Amino acid sequence: MGRSIVLFDLDGTLWDSAVSVADSWNMEIERVTGRPSNIMPDDIRRNMGKTMNEIADDVMSNFEVPERYQMARYCEVFENAYIAEHGGELYENVRETLEELHQAGVMLAVVSNCQEGYVPAFIKSMDMGRYFIDYEEWGRSGLLKAENIRLVMERNGVDRAIYVGDIQKDADAAAKAGIPCIWASYGFGHIEEPAAVLEKFTDLPGVLKDLGYM
């Protein structure tokens, strides 16, 4: 059996940062425009898993293109700094479970459709650097999730991988990359026909053992 790696989605799988993201976007929009902004955490949650431009199309539709995407770039930069300082809400027992996997020698990485710098902001704010050997972001590579999954696999010389995510787009990307997907059912969405289901994050080591990834 070749080397394997466990790849994680971030929002809706490892944590919920919607409050911090909404707060930071409202602050930056008000700073740039001088007008109040009222993006809500649920506006962010319903868009998790999309690229930043797709999110902007929904929550910043009052801005015309290309100003909409320029505003999104402003918000991304401010959001990263805000997230690095204020963080988000880790799901229950994420840290303890990642530590268990790390101690067992399981290779872990994050692949997200986020802007460049968001995963490092997560890692810094939650002090997670010891757990993840690699990460990739839509904003850094310019690639969609399936391509980024393959990129991380190739970069780390692994033969097998499995993805952990919470929405159908995660499963679709994993399938396109040729790997199975575990559904984090406590997250923001639903996945049809996952390889396995996590009712809670602490289920993950047992699921990985059952599937032959530990």
| 18-86 fold | DNA polymerase; domain 1 (1.10.150)
Tell whether the torsion through CA atoms of 9, 156, 115 and 89 is positive or negative: positive
pTM for this entry: 0.93
Once rounded to an integer, what is the mean pLDDT over residues 111-140?
96
**pLDDT above 70 coverage of the chain, percent:** 99
Given a cut of 60, whether residue 1 has pLDDT beyond it is no
Q: Where do the structural domains in the chain lie, given as residue ranges?
A: 4-16+89-211, 18-86
CA dist., res. 203 & res. 214, Å (int): 13
Closest-CA residue to 74 (of 115, 119, 113) = 115
Q: What is the DSSP letter of 202?
A: G
33-42, 48-57, 122-131, 156-165 — which is least confidently predicted? 48-57
How remote is the C-alpha of 129 from its chain's centroid?
15
Above 60 in pLDDT, residue 182? yes
List Cβ neighbours of 179 (8 Å cut-off, separation of 6 or more): 7, 149, 160, 161, 162, 163
Do the beta carbons of residue 46 and residue 85 sit within 8 Å? no
- Considering the four listed CATH numbers 3.30.70.20, 3.40.50.1000, 3.40.930.10, 3.30.450.40, the one that applies to the domain covering 4-16+89-211 is 3.40.50.1000
Here the tokens at position 205 are: 């080591």
Alpha-carbon Rg for the chain, nearest whole angstrom, is 17
The pLDDT value given to residue 3:
83
